[in-house]
Structure 1
Amino acid sequence: MGKIVISSNATLDGVVQDPDGQEGFELGGWFHQFVGSKDLEDWTARETEEALGAEAVLLGRRSSEWFASRMPSFDVRVSRKWADRMNSLPKYVVSSTLEHPQWSNTTVLNGDVVKEISELKQKVNGEILVYGSYQLVRTLMEQNLADELRLVVFPVVLGTGLRLFYETSDKKPLHLVNTRKIGDGLVFYTYQFVQG
C-alpha cells in the first residue's frame, strides 16, 4: 500500500509561497536568501535520499508544470542524481484541465480526486511524494489521505504569504517522528498524521 508523504520547505511562520522568487510574490526568493552553502549541501543530500526512496510523485497541475519547465536540465546546485530520479519516477497529476502533460512518465488524474488518490494508494507500494501543490495538499489533509509530513523550516519570518496550513474543517493531530538540523540553519521535521 502506498504512503502519501507531503514534503515541503517553509519559512518559520509557515509561508510556502514563491521560494525561488520567480512567481512575482514581493517577498519571494527566500529559499536562496536564507540558506548557506552547508545548508544547501545537506538539504540537497536529504532531498536526493528522499527521491531515491520514493515510488511515485503526486502533484497538482501548476506544480507539475513548474517542475516540467525545469527538467531535464535542473539547476546545477541541485543533485543530478535527484533530477534523474525525479524524471524517471511515475508521476500523477491532479487536474481537470491538463490534457497533454509535458513531463515524462505522467498520468493525469482528472476524476473524483478522493477516489483516484485512494486507488493510487492501493496501486503504489511505497512512498508517494507530494511537492508544492498546496491546493492538493490541503485536500489530502482535509480528506485524511496524507500519511506523513516532512517539513524543512528556513530561518526567516515573512509575516505574509500563502501558508501550507490554512483553514481546515477540524483539528489535524500529528505525531512527531523525528527532528534534525540540516546544515547550519535549517530544521527538518517529520510528522505522521494521526488517522481517526
Structure 2
Amino acid sequence: MGTIVISTNITLDGVVTDPDGQEGAAGGGWFTATVGDDRPAWAEHETREVRQAAALMVGRHSDAWFASRWNARLGEWAERMGALPKYVVSATLDEPRWNNATVLGGDPVKEAAELKRRVDGEIVVYGSRRLARALIEHDLADELRLTVFPVVAGGGGRLFDEEGPAGTKRLRLLESRPLGAQLHYQAYAFVR
C-alpha cells in the first residue's frame, strides 16, 4: 500500500499558485523573486525527494504546467521525474500532456484511494491545489511537506483557505529545518 505525500512550495501567507509568474495570477512570481542563492539547496532537496518516490499524482492544470517545463529537461532530477509513472486525476482530460502519464478519470477521491492501494511506496503530489485539498479532506493524504518561501504574496490561490478542506485536521511535526539561507522545510504526518 502506498502513502500519499503532498509536497509543495508555499509562501508565508499560504499561496501555492503561479510560483514562476508565467500564469499572470495575482501574487504570481514569488518563487522566482525569492529563491535566489537558495536554488541549489532547493534543487538538491527536490531531487532527493523524487528519488524516493514511487509515483507522482497531479491534477489537470498541474499536468499541463509540468509538461510545459519538464518534458524536455535533462539531468538526474529531470530524468527521474520523466521515468516515474504519473497519474493525472481529472474528470475532463482525455490525454495527459506530461510524459509517462495516465489519466485517472471519474471521482478523484475513489481514483486516489485505488491508486494508494495499488502503488507500493510514496505517491508524491506536486502542485494540484484542488486535488491536495480533496485528498486531505477525505483522509487520503499521509504526509504534508512544505518548502516555505520568506515572502507574503498578497494574492493567489492558497492551499488552505475558506473553501476547504472541511473539518479540523491534526498533524504531527516530522521534520523542520532550514533549506539554504532563506527557505525553510517542514514535514508533517496527518494524525488519524
User: Is this a same-fold pair by TM over 0.5?
Assistant: yes
- In the TM superposition, 1:67-82 aligns within 5 A as 67-74=66-73, 80-82=75-77
The residue identity in structure 1 corresponding to 2:69 is: R
The residue identity in structure 2 corresponding to 1:113 is: P
1:21 aligned residue: 21
- Whole-Å Cα distance in 2 between the matches of residues 67 and 152 of structure 1? 18
Number of matched pairs: 190
Is there any run of 5+ residues in structure 2 with no aligned partner, and where? Answer: none
2:147 aligned residue: 152
- CA deviation vs aligned residue, 1:123-169 (integer Å, no higher than 9, x gap): 11000000000010110011010000000000111232211112332
Runs of 4+ in 1 over 6 A off after TM superposition: none
- Whole-Å Cα distance in 2 between the matches of residues 184 and 23 of structure 1? 28
Mean Cα displacement is larger for which, 153-162 or 82-91? 153-162
2:87 aligned residue: 92
CA contact 2:91–2:107 (8 Å) conserved in 1: no
SS at match of 2:28: coil
The residue identity in structure 1 corresponding to 2:58 is: L
- Whole-Å Cα distance in 1 between the matches of residues 147 and 190 of structure 2? 17
- Whole-Å Cα distance in 1 between the matches of residues 165 and 134 of structure 2? 9
CA RMSD across the alignment: 1.2
- CA deviation vs aligned residue, 1:83-118 (integer Å, no higher than 9, x gap): 111111000001112112232221111122222211
1:190 aligned residue: 187
CA contact 2:59–2:88 (8 Å) conserved in 1: yes
Is there any run of 5+ residues in structure 1 with no aligned partner, and where? Answer: none
Asked if residue 173 in structure 1 is aligned to residue 139 in structure 2, the reply is no
Using the size of structure 1 for normalisation, the TM-score is: 0.93
The residue identity in structure 1 corresponding to 2:138 is: Q
2:52 aligned residue: 53
SS at match of 1:188: strand
The residue identity in structure 2 corresponding to 1:55 is: A
| 2:100 corresponds to which of 96, 102, 105 | 105
